[in-house]
Amino acid sequence: MNKGVFHYDICIVGGGLAGLSLAALLSESGLSIAVVEPTPLPLNPVRPAKDDYALRISAINLASMRLFEHLGIKPALLDSRASGYQKMQIWDANSDAFIQFDANDIDSDQLGYIIENNIIINSIFDIIKANGNIIFHTDSLLDIEHKPDGIEIKLEKGRLHTQLLVGADGQFSKVRALAKIPTELGTFNQTALVCRIQTEQTHQQTAYQCFHHSGPIAYLPLMDGSSSIVWSCDTDKAAQLSQLDDKAFARAIQDALQSTLGAVKILGPRAAFPLAQQHASAYIDSRIALIGDAAHRTHPLAGLGANLGLQDAAVLAETLLQAGQQHRPMHSMATLRKYERTRKHQNALILDTMAAFKAGFASRSPGLTSLRAMALNSVNHSPILKTGITRLATGISGDLPKICQPLNF
Ligand SMILES: Cc1cc2nc3c(=O)[nH]c(=O)nc-3n(C[C@H](O)[C@H](O)[C@H](O)COP(=O)(O)OP(=O)(O)OC[C@H]3O[C@@H](n4cnc5c(N)ncnc54)[C@H](O)[C@@H]3O)c2cc1C
């Protein structure tokens, strides 16, 4: 054992939604866990002021909410302005295609919740900070070295030794790069513009998404009556929109949503996120597993990226805990392969579907425009199909980790 090197069973690199959720799910396992994250936790502001909404906001589906319920943070999220939405309307700006999803169709109170990422991260941190098995290193991963008895990890400020290394370090994952795991990268040549707005008419706890050839614009309903917009469009167009002053930008948003909620007022700063689809060719390597955006990244049009990462965390936690119960080494390739087999294929299906959806709406071909109108309208008028899709998208049915399943699943 090297002097000055901290030894752990599991080292999770990245304290975002995926990494922190995994740490929390393993917090009762008795395993010693390190979380390496350069940004000090809790994130600032710890308790955001009434009008101080963060720009990174996620639509959290019912499966992820059950994971949060399992962790015991659902009440804190609901208290911290998680905004439930009961309806979602999606339409095509270039045809009469329209579909509405309704929580009533799946006998649920909500279709999902709009929550600031920072609030989720701080709520998870709150419940695990006092757990003696989890140690936080405010640091960055620099390098790794495989040893006969584990992996030695070089951080900016120290060294760790671990039996298993989990890369939860996001789209530019250093763990993935050091493990030399290639990724398939598909660029959409799109950028998502994000900002908070007030609309003339109330959003009625409904999420709205209008598809243009250049990409979709979504209005996500917030608790205080304002909305968060995610406007994904071609990067040239996003650059032009970014140049507009608030008044002109508000007008552009209103036009893009075809005045559905009337006039728009900009309430805060804007941010731009370049979009790409990325899939790691493997989720595992010797003593290494990737979760969340480190393993996959998709277009935000279905609001799924964080939800998929949370399911990765749930499946990996369940797989490791089961290996422990059966006295099998949790870092063995057989254990890790079980995780990869469960998640990689499912994520690939969703990534492919999102890419096809995006390409389908981008097409200007009149044939394809009427085809997608026909498809969307037929689903809208078929209660069985619509309910099936809603159950899958919200995480009521499908191949879910146990932690994310409804009680009567
Ligand atoms: C505009 C937009 C809207 C979106 N909307 C939704 C939505 O509505 N619903 C949804 O489900 N998803 C949504 N997503 C996707 C979602 O935001 C991401 O999938 C999710 O945040 C990824 O979480 P993560 O924990 O995997 O990675 P990250 O959030 O990227 O966290 C990675 C962490 O790793 C740390 N890190 C990086 N490098 C190192 C290093 N070398 N050493 C140590 N730590 C390191 C970082 O500091 C970071 O904290 C959206 C994405 C965008 C861009």
CATH number of domain containing 27: 3.50.50.60
Identify whether the C-beta of residue 99 lies closer than 8 Å to the C-beta of residue 146: no
Q: Which residue minimizes the CA distance to atom 29 of ligand 1? A: 16
pTM: 0.96
At 130 the pLDDT is 85
Please, which pLDDT band fits residue 409 given cuts at 50, 70 and 90? low
Q: Is the CB of 15 under 6 A from ligand 1?
A: yes
At 106 the pLDDT is 93
Residue 362 has pLDDT above 90, yes or no: no
Half-sphere exposure for 132 (CA within 13 Å, toward CB): 1
Question: Which residue blocks in 99-234 are alpha helix, DSSP H?
Answer: 117-128, 174-178
At 3 the pLDDT is 60
State in Å: Cα 409 to ligand 1 middle.
29
In the numeric block, the tokens 């990890």 are attached to 153
Distances (CA, A) of 187 to 184, 247, 252, 275: 10, 31, 25, 7
Domain at 271, CATH number: 3.30.9.10
% of the chain exceeding 90 in pLDDT: 78
Q: Is the CB of 141 under 6 A from ligand 1?
A: yes
142 Cα nearest atom in ligand 1: 41
Q: Is the CB of 230 under 6 A from ligand 1?
A: yes
Residues 332 and 196 in one domain: no
Kindly calculate the radius of gyration of the chain based on its CA atoms and give it in whole angstroms.
22
Distance CA 224, CA 306 (A): 23
Distances (CA, A) of 144 to 34, 84, 155: 15, 42, 9
**Once rounded to an integer, what is the mean pLDDT over residues 360-387?**
81
Q: Is the CB of 121 under 6 A from ligand 1?
A: no
At 408 the pLDDT is 59
Identify whether the C-beta of residue 18 lies closer than 8 Å to the C-beta of residue 309: yes
Last residue of a domain, one of 275, 292, 307: 275
Query: Which residue of 169, 190, 220, 232 sits with most ligand 1 atoms within 8 Å of its CB, as the best mutation to test the pocket?
Result: 169
State in Å: Cα 294 to ligand 1 middle.
9
Residues 263 and 285 in one domain: no
Residues 191 and 338 in one domain: no
Residues 201 and 133 in one domain: no
Q: Which residue minimizes the CA distance to atom 37 of ligand 1? A: 169
Strands (E), 26-86: 33-36, 57-61, 83-85
State in Å: Cα 108 to ligand 1 middle.
28
For 23-42, letters b (16+ CB in 10 Å) and e give bbbbbebebbbbbbbeeebb
At 367 the pLDDT is 81
Residues 296 and 319 in one domain: yes
State in Å: Cα 97 to ligand 1 middle.
32
Residue 295 has pLDDT above 90, yes or no: yes
Last residue of a domain, one of 275, 309, 326: 275
Q: Is the CB of 390 under 6 A from ligand 1?
A: no
State in Å: Cα 16 to ligand 1 middle.
6
Query: Which residue of 37, 68, 394 sits with most ligand 1 atoms within 8 Å of its CB, as the best mutation to test the pocket?
Result: 37
Ranges 79-93, 148-162, 372-386: which has the least confidence = 372-386
State in Å: Cα 167 to ligand 1 middle.
12
What is the number of domains present in the chain? 2
Residues 249 and 301 in one domain: no
State in Å: Cα 118 to ligand 1 middle.
11
At 2 the pLDDT is 58
Residues 198 and 314 in one domain: no
Last residue of a domain, one of 243, 258, 275: 275
192 Cα nearest atom in ligand 1: 1
**Once rounded to an integer, what is the mean pLDDT over residues 355-361?**
79
Strands (E), 67-140: 83-85, 87-92, 98-102, 112-116, 134-137
Query: Which residue of 293, 299, 316, 404 sits with most ligand 1 atoms within 8 Å of its CB, as the best mutation to test the pocket?
Result: 293
**Once rounded to an integer, what is the mean pLDDT over residues 18-37?**
97
Q: Residue 313: which domain range?
A: 1-41+129-182+281-362
Residues 165 and 217 in one domain: no
Pairing between β-strand 150-155 and β-strand 141-147 as defined by DSSP bridges: antiparallel
**Once rounded to an integer, what is the mean pLDDT over residues 87-111?**
93
**Once rounded to an integer, what is the mean pLDDT over residues 294-306?**
91
**Once rounded to an integer, what is the mean pLDDT over residues 73-96?**
94
pLDDT in tens, 321-336: 999 999 999 999 999 9
**Once rounded to an integer, what is the mean pLDDT over residues 260-275?**
96
